[in-house]
Chain A
Amino acid sequence: MGEAIVITSGKGGVGKTTTSANVGTALALQGKKVCMVDTDIGLRNLDVIMGLENRIIFDLVDVAEGRCRVAQALIKDKRFDELYLLPAAQTKDKDAVSPERVKEIILELKNDFEFVIIDCPAGIEQGFKNAVAGADKAIVVTTPENAAVRDADRIIGLLENSNIRSPKLIINRIRPHMIKNGEMLDVEEICSVLAIDLLGLVPDDEHVIKAANSGEPTVMNPNSRAAIAYRNIARRMLGDTVPLMPLEEKRSFMKNIRKLFRIG
């Protein structure tokens, strides 16, 4: 029996889908059997980011309404051994499925997969309720902005009410130089407000946008700092102790050393 993890944030545009794609892929890279479920019915994106859009035949609503079996709707990502996607429908809306039905589908998937990663839509309405219905654990994604932190706080409250204890936090799109100048909320401040365990920090990285557009998850690019952050997150989810990555880029560290030598 695997575990179902919902990736949620409240606010839109903070990187839920990107995080789902990358965490799912990173877990698959670690040799785990992973299924990603897109619950953003009507505004599906996960298939686009994964580059699997053109292979969709059945979707979550088809499964929920009994038009096909779960296994028929799953799309296998051929780049990995065991990575599958259950896409959302694009033509319906969030009311097309019920939380009870989603729960049954997730339960079925948990029998076959070690990890079921559920990509949650923005908001706190029906779509959120559907997404959390079958989840055992939750990862809350936020960015270092007041509005995102406020919404993350609201979501954590709702998760606690729906019996998902101790959600984990990912802070996405960190810009170290802005934090350094005091123009962006710093990590400690966010953690002290939200008061949940930190799972990882993901720096803002242009590679992420490029990768999303080309349908290749960032994790596959070893030169990207965000990719390393996502790999670290996956390792932490598997129980490894991985220290947090220093936020400053390595290049500036090397520069400092060079500077030191010049002085010497």
Chain B
Amino acid sequence: MDGRLRSLTAAKHRVTIKGVKDGLVFVLDDTCPFADVVDELRHKMETTHQQILTGPVIRVHVKLGAREVSEEQKEEIRRIIGRRGNLLVQSIQSSEPPGAGARMGGSNIKVMSGIVRSGQTITHDGDLLYLGDVNPGGAIICSGDIYVMGALRGMAHAGMTGNEHAIIAASHLRPTQLRIASVISRPPDEWNVDDEDTYMEFAYIRDGKMEIDKIHRLHRVKSGNNAGNRPEFA
């Protein structure tokens, strides 16, 4: 065994093989570079686990964790495992639909600052924290949540790609129009907003309609989202 392989085995396993009732699950670590995973997978298939992985046809499910891979990379995994004739790759899956995993972890939040003036549009794939005002005639469009630390006087469209769990929050929520997924709403006739208050507020969708609430109730809505449920209020 050369030095490189020893260091591989000494470190945390990047490829874990588990038996389940209809076959085997290969869990590939999602925190290291893809090349390392491939190296270790190849090593396990061809040397260390050669003995166990022979015999009758076994179904294999590959789990990638939060890692997102390209079609070529999937093909490479298939090729390495498929080299043992008895292993049949049934599925290669990431734990979350693309994008969603990173969003829930909060790591995909983008921070921007400035003023979105009339005629200007900011688009972002993911969540956006905007430090500054959005003026009437200006727009923020995001596939995720929108948080505005400032006055939202223009238009905001959260969950642009159809995510109904997206929310729009602003220090001063006085928009010309709000959109979440395909729901469009406008003040003031549709919401009960007290013009005097200066609480930070947010908008979300409940039962297909847009609702406005004070920011301290946000965690209820968001925790509902993470569990994959509709937000519910007592």
Contact = CB atoms under 8 A, between A and B. Distances in A.
A257 B118 CA distance: 45
A260 interface: no
A154 B115 contact: no
B65 interface: no
Contacts of A193: 133, 135-136, 153
- Residue of B115, B117, B151, B153 most packed against chain A (CB within 10 A): B117
Contact of A195 (B115, B120, B137, B138): B115
B119 interface: yes
Interface in A145-160: 146, 150-151, 153-154, 156-158, 160
Interface in A193-208: 193-195
Given A150-B137, A195-B133, A157 B120 contact: yes
Interface string B82-101: 00000000000000000000
A175 B119 CA distance: 28
A160 B151 CA distance: 20
Interface residues of A, number: 13
B133 A150 contact: no
Contacts of B151: 192
Nearest to B137: A150
A11 to B, nearest CB: 11
Given A193-B153, A195-B115, A154 B133 contact: no
Contacts of B119: 153-154, 157-158
A157 B133 contact: no
Interface in B119-138: 119-120, 133, 135-138
A101 to B, nearest CB: 27
Contacts of B120: 157
Contacts of B117: 153-154, 156-157, 160
Contacts of B135: 153, 193-194
A156 B120 CA distance: 11
Contacts of B138: 153
Contacts of A151: 118
A146 B136 CA distance: 10
Nearest to B133: A195
A138 to B, nearest CB: 14
A89 B151 CA distance: 44
A150 B118 CA distance: 6
A158 B119 CA distance: 9
Nearest to A10: B118
- In the A-B complex, the 5 residue pairs with the smallest Cβ-Cβ separation, listed nearest first, are A157-B117, A154-B118, A153-B118, A154-B119, A153-B117
Interface of B: 115, 117-120, 133, 135-138, 151, 153
12 contacts: A146-B136, A150-B118, A150-B137, A151-B118, A153-B138, A154-B119, A154-B137, A157-B117, A157-B120, A193-B133, A193-B135, A195-B133
